[in-house]
Structure 1
């Protein structure tokens, strides 16, 4: 075999990629997380990543996710995580565009205002964009452990402190009852929509979730895109609704092995979503916590799901279609991706 021929794994690793479902604090690497915890005397369960990131399901993971916010306190912390996270994602999976979930409510509990959180993140990502050409946008996330009134207050903060880079509203974590309950925050969503923000939500993810949560996010909240959404395949009518509305799904293969205990194989719900014609795009969710990166999600995750290379390219392009950036940036990304596909296909066919 010609030495120039690359393997399917290398092909998937080198495909240009977007990432639409990425929690900002999870773009830290483990060493930096432990370093910052020591800096601020934050007690971690362990300083060994093998133990620190050992979770017993989604609820257990969310406890760790919350305390990760404790280690980001100064502007330079946020900016460093932002910049270094882009560098790592380019090296680990050829990232070309990313949208970040930001949780200002977690930081407000620690005395940081909305601008004090958002502005240094933007500064770090702008610097990475200049150096590495990776575009970005921010999605502000409602913490579902907080009240519906708190969610409305959060949207009012977004309106009071507009930033061009902040383009969407989402919701994550779980309610105090450990449920999704997306419509609890309908008023916040109506306010965000009225002020031009795009909408998404974590739904259909948990073992107790139903496809009706996906339907509610589409029909009641008016979401443009959804995170996870795996339970949708339990109801063909909701699948048909999502296809008709052109709803994109930001799925995260590796995280489902931790949070849901599912095996990555051809019977997986994500593969069933792809086969049903849903517009699936792949992300990491929480890369540090799940010991993953974009390259692994494609190289190992899609391969385990039985996804072929042509479908992998479609998935990469789906991420552009479902992004919350403007049309000009989408066209630039599509041209970049098509050029890189050509180059990869040429090498592979030698």
Structure 2
């Protein structure tokens, strides 16, 4: 019989909050470290991916960039990451990539972007999973460096690179979106879509979400859980249908929040916000897009109809063109119809 967990695993899915380096498998990560002589604390994933909080995780996240040194490394990660995603129902994905990490290691912007596009294009041809790329500002760097990054994007235009975001934390451990307002204004004038990691943990505030919405003019919010601390902001976001890209499993590690019906993501869904679901950093948090639906959503108290709505929210929030969105909606509708028929049939079968 098709269980509810099976149903959620098989639902077609988008993923909009996905950091490219984190789409590696642990095995590939260890192999690439060996290839390039990068010393890891351990080769045991059970200990390699153990973090006390967000800041400790970010140290490991930076280390992952050390093992991606050749174009073929980037292409291999891109192809393998899509293959694993397809097993969990992935149909479309948007990737955050931090060129600043790679540039600091001697690579150029094009050295990073071009093999990434090549690998993802090969994966799309093989598995049918569409993609777009969002370049992410590293908040550990200065506002001036963020501006230079946007200038590099303008100097090296690629049709698949459609947006600007921001992640990591400032040297003081803050979100501080205001430090990067000039870079975001430049990106907006260049026609890029905008998003930002804000309101993520207990150390952040609703002010960061408000600044991203009002001053940066973002098209969607990454995380944004602290929005709930400001009822007026919740009402505004609901009225605007502003998308929130939530990552349930990561909150259990970065914020030590339990996945229950009282979780902030559950409350955001209940408040009528346009929530979609992603992995954030799959390898590091030992998750995948299937687990986020199969395990996290039931723990949050989400029923089948709401799970389908969350999946459709991912299409609405995507930075692809309208034609691709229309194709995804048709594909998802067909798959939902088939799964619903099977799920309802099995629910009517007598138990042994």
- 2:42 pairs, out of 46, 61, 67, with 46
2:7 is equivalent to residue 11 of structure 1:
yes
2:145 is equivalent to residue 170 of structure 1:
no
| Partner deviation per Cα, 1:143-166 (whole Å, 9 max, x = no partner) | 000000000000000000000000
Q: Structure 1 stretches of 5 or more lacking a match?
A: none
- What residue in structure 2 maps to residue 280 of structure 1? 275
Deviation, 1:49, is: 0.5
- Aligned residues, how many? 345
- What residue in structure 2 maps to residue 181 of structure 1? 176
- What residue in structure 2 maps to residue 76 of structure 1? 72
- What residue in structure 2 maps to residue 338 of structure 1? 333
Alpha-carbon RMSD: 0.6
- 2:226 pairs, out of 227, 231, 253, with 231
Partner Cα separation in structure 2 for residue 36 and residue 116 of structure 1: 18
| Partner deviation per Cα, 1:225-270 (whole Å, 9 max, x = no partner) | 0100000111111111212222101100000000000000000000
- What residue in structure 1 maps to residue 349 of structure 2? none
Partner Cα separation in structure 2 for residue 239 and residue 184 of structure 1: 24
- What residue in structure 1 maps to residue 109 of structure 2? 114
- What residue in structure 2 maps to residue 155 of structure 1? 150
Q: State how 1:172-211 maps to structure 2 within 5 Å.
A: 172-211=167-206
2:251 is equivalent to residue 256 of structure 1:
yes
- What residue in structure 2 maps to residue 267 of structure 1? 262
Partner Cα separation in structure 1 for residue 26 and residue 304 of structure 2: 31
> Please, which moves more after superposition, 202-211 or 263-272?
202-211
Partner Cα separation in structure 2 for residue 6 and residue 346 of structure 1: 11
| Partner deviation per Cα, 1:79-100 (whole Å, 9 max, x = no partner) | 0000110000001x11000000
Partner Cα separation in structure 2 for residue 189 and residue 155 of structure 1: 8
Partner Cα separation in structure 1 for residue 80 and residue 120 of structure 2: 9
4+ residue segments displaced more than 6 Å? none
Partner Cα separation in structure 2 for residue 206 and residue 109 of structure 1: 28
Deviation, 1:338, is: 0.2
Q: State how 1:22-33 maps to structure 2 within 5 Å.
A: 22-33=18-29
2:128 is equivalent to residue 139 of structure 1:
no
Q: Structure 2 stretches of 5 or more lacking a match?
A: 346-352
2:322 is equivalent to residue 323 of structure 1:
no
SS of match in other structure, 2:165: strand
Deviation, 1:209, is: 0.6
- 2:93 pairs, out of 98, 114, 123, with 98
Deviation, 1:206, is: 2.2
| Partner deviation per Cα, 1:100-154 (whole Å, 9 max, x = no partner) | 0000000001000000000000001001111111000000000000000000000
Compute the TM-score of the two structures, normalised by the length of structure 2: 0.97
SS of match in other structure, 1:201: strand
Partner Cα separation in structure 2 for residue 177 and residue 105 of structure 1: 19
- What residue in structure 2 maps to residue 130 of structure 1? 125
Compute the TM-score of the two structures, normalised by the length of structure 1: 0.98
